[in-house]
Amino acid sequence: MHSEVVASRSADQRDSSRESRNGNSPQLDAVSLAIIQQLQEDGRRPYAAIGKAVGLSEAAVRQRVQKLLDQGVMQIVAVTDPLTVGFRRQAMVGINVEGDVESIADALTDMSEVEYVVMTAGSFDILAEIVCEDDDHLLDVINKRIRALPGVRSTESFVYLKLKKQTYMWGTR
């Protein structure tokens, strides 16, 4: 009874201790992946339901989720389109840097208006997404704060006109 799936979570994705986050290597197995998928569909889904879906007991799911949360591998949050929540100006800013890219990225990370920072290959070294209340605010962040950082060679802004898609469903496909 109860057997069903289970899929013998053997000792598969062992080794390969590479790191992806900013330092540690969480190393997820297939079951945790499945749990995350469940929670990507509905962050409030009960543990028992998740357990049934991935072939684990309620208690086990609870422990796994807690650990994933504690490790910072995943977070369960509400997401919205900022435009509907009163932030009327958003922009993606492409930045070119001379010198240490990482330190500039860190400086951007510390700004509360900056939602998203990623280091890239291509004609920009960094892409940063900015969320502001209005034009003045946006202008201020870009010109006074970002361009003022030592090492920033140039920036190019892309003001958001309309958000068309925003998903959190990889793996679900």
Neighbours of 143 (CB within 10 A): 12
x/- map, 65-104, DNA, by CB under 7 A: --x-------------------------------------
**Position among 28, 55, 68, 82 found at the interface with DNA (CB under 7 A):** 55
Residue 129 host element (H or E): strand 126-132
Give me the least distance between CB of 99 and DNA, in Å please.
39
Contacts of 103 (CB under 8 A, 6+ apart): 151
Query: Which of 73, 163, 158, 148 lies closest to 124, judged by CA?
Result: 158
Q: Write down the residue that tokens 């598969």 correspond to.
A: 12
> Is residue 43 involved in binding DNA (CB under 7 A)?
no
x/- map, 55-94, a copy of itself, by CB under 8 A: ------------------xxxxxxxxxxxxxxx---xx-x
Query: Which of 137, 136, 90, 94 lies closest to 115, judged by CA?
Result: 90
Q: Within positions 5 to 44, which residues make up the interface with a copy of itself, using CB under 8 A?
A: 20-23, 25-26, 28, 33, 36, 39-44
> Is residue 116 involved in binding a copy of itself (CB under 8 A)?
yes
Q: Which is nearer to DNA, 16 or 123 (CB)?
A: 16
Give me the least distance between CB of 4 and DNA, in Å please.
9
Rounded to 5°, the CA angle 40-55-3 comes to 160
